[in-house]
Amino acid sequence: MELEEILLERSSLKRKTLIANEMESDFSNTPERLAELYGEYAKLRADLLEQQTQLSKYIQVKYKSGCSGLEITKWHETTTQMHPASEVLNDLRNRVKGPLMTQAWLKFYEILSNIPELILSVDLTADRFTTLHLCEAPGAFISALMSYWANEHSERTDFPDWYAATLNPHHEESDPGAVIRVDTLILEFPDRWVFGTDNTGNIFNFGSLASLKGKQFHLVTADGGVDCSADPEFQEQNSADLKAAEYKGICYKLKPKGNALLKLFCCCHESTLKILESAASSFRKVELVKPASSKAGNSELYLVMMGYFGRMAPLENTVGFLENNFSTISQGLKAFDCLKCITSHIAQIPN
Ligand SMILES: C[S@@+](CC[C@H](N)C(=O)[O-])C[C@H]1O[C@@H](n2cnc3c(N)ncnc32)[C@H](O)[C@@H]1O
């Protein structure tokens, strides 16, 4: 595979006011037409799921797993081996020393390197760069940001002023399956992590960001995920409430003109399409990106939002947006073409 084929893919979404035939589309903004369009997006998603299903079948056969469900460790091992960028992290760990040099570290470093406007578009003449990281344990995005800043903004003597929020690994009621137990960064910087009025850190709970009252940030990231290994094909639907809560948290805590990053799982379900449309109307520029360092075997993508207008547009869809952005979103899913390559290659291997 050529290097150019696996570089970070970017697709820009058009905001509502830029859609040429908006007036015309508003006439056809009927529930029936919306349902029809949701169906077309569902077909896009089905295509991606088909590739993942084929790959998982192959792994089951290869490892002769007797159990009905795919052993998740085998899935991880195989998708990692087949991942074209898998060597990058090992190589980097040998050359660069830093805390939490994980796949998440690499993804965020890659996004910052490819989209430097995430920092450069902010007017920092008077201010210190401020960041908030939602759903952030163990904290690799923070570590990547500090490394990137040290390398690319060495002229500045100050480092970003960061805060993070996440499920509290030390709360007695925390679900062991949902929290990340690696707590080195939390223990080292206890004043930088916020866990809300009930100390759980759960972004769903009222007051989860209460201690940041009055603070707004230049950059907000949200990288939340829930364990969907039991039914990976429903990852997008099962994460819908979390994604909506993170998106609202971003809009609540972002300074006007600020930038944001939100992890999504695929982008074809109604819940995600509503976030995409709201974002396209609340930010100057919105892009879907799949970093090369993110495995094609998973369905994650990142929504990059730049230039916040200072108010969140409602979470709803219009026919005009869905019609006009269909090709861009399917283009965004082309980032998974690497998975298609793998599955078509597998199809040629005799049993
Ligand atoms: C993929 S990890 C984040 C990785 C992180 N960006 C990094 O670079 O190390 C997803 C995080 O979301 C957190 N999370 C999941 N559900 C959450 C919720 N309801 N409220 C707050 N955090 C949540 C998990 O506990 C986990 O720490």
For 8-17, the pLDDT digits (tens) are 778 889 876 5
**Could you tell me the two tokens for 238?**
């099962």
pLDDT band at 297 (very low <50, low <70, confident <90, very high): confident
Q: What is the pLDDT of residue 63?
A: 62
C-beta of residue 111 within 8 angstroms of C-beta of residue 125: no
103 pocket-lining for ligand 1 (C-beta < 6 Å): no
Checking if the pLDDT of 6 tops 70, the result is: no
- Ligand 1 center to 201 CA (angstroms): 10
Which protein residue has the closest C-alpha to ligand 1 atom 4? 136
Which protein residue has the closest C-alpha to ligand 1 atom 8? 140
**Could you tell me the two tokens for 43?**
């077909």
Q: What is the pLDDT of residue 82?
A: 65
H-type alpha helices, the chain: 22-27, 31-62, 72-82, 86-95, 103-114, 117-120, 140-152, 184-188, 235-238, 240-253, 270-282, 319-333, 337-347
- Ligand 1 center to 288 CA (angstroms): 20
pLDDT tens digits for 305-333?
999 999 999 999 999 999 999 998 988 77
Is the Cα dihedral 70, 71, 73, 78 positive or negative?
A: negative
Which protein residue has the closest C-alpha to ligand 1 atom 25? 179
pLDDT tens digits for 187-213?
999 999 999 999 999 999 999 999 999
Cis geometry, peptide bond prior to residue 256 (ω within 30 degrees of 0): no
- Ligand 1 center to 4 CA (angstroms): 31
277 pocket-lining for ligand 1 (C-beta < 6 Å): no
- Write the DSSP symbol of residue 37: H
User: How many folded domains does the chain comprise?
Assistant: 1
Distance of alpha carbon 331 from alpha carbon 336, whole angstroms: 10
pLDDT tens digits for 88-104?
888 888 888 889 999 99
Q: Which atom of ligand 1 is nearest to the CA of 100?
A: 9
Residues, the chain: 351
- Ligand 1 center to 217 CA (angstroms): 19
Which protein residue has the closest C-alpha to ligand 1 atom 18? 202
For residues 231-249, one letter each, b for 16 or more C-beta atoms within 10 angstroms of the residue's C-beta and e for the rest, the string is ebeebbbbbbebbbbbbbb
Q: Is 223 annotated as a binding residue?
A: yes
Distance of alpha carbon 2 from alpha carbon 301, whole angstroms: 21
Q: Is 139 annotated as a binding residue?
A: yes
Distance of alpha carbon 2 from alpha carbon 13, whole angstroms: 27
Q: Which residues pair with 301 in a beta bridge?
A: 264
Kindly state the percentage of the chain with pLDDT values over 90. Answer: 57
**Domain membership of residue 105 as a residue range:** 3-347
For residue 192, what is the domain's CATH number?
Answer: 3.40.50.12760
167 pocket-lining for ligand 1 (C-beta < 6 Å): yes
- Write the DSSP symbol of residue 275: H
Is residue 263 flagged as an active site residue?
yes
Q: What is the pLDDT of residue 347?
A: 64
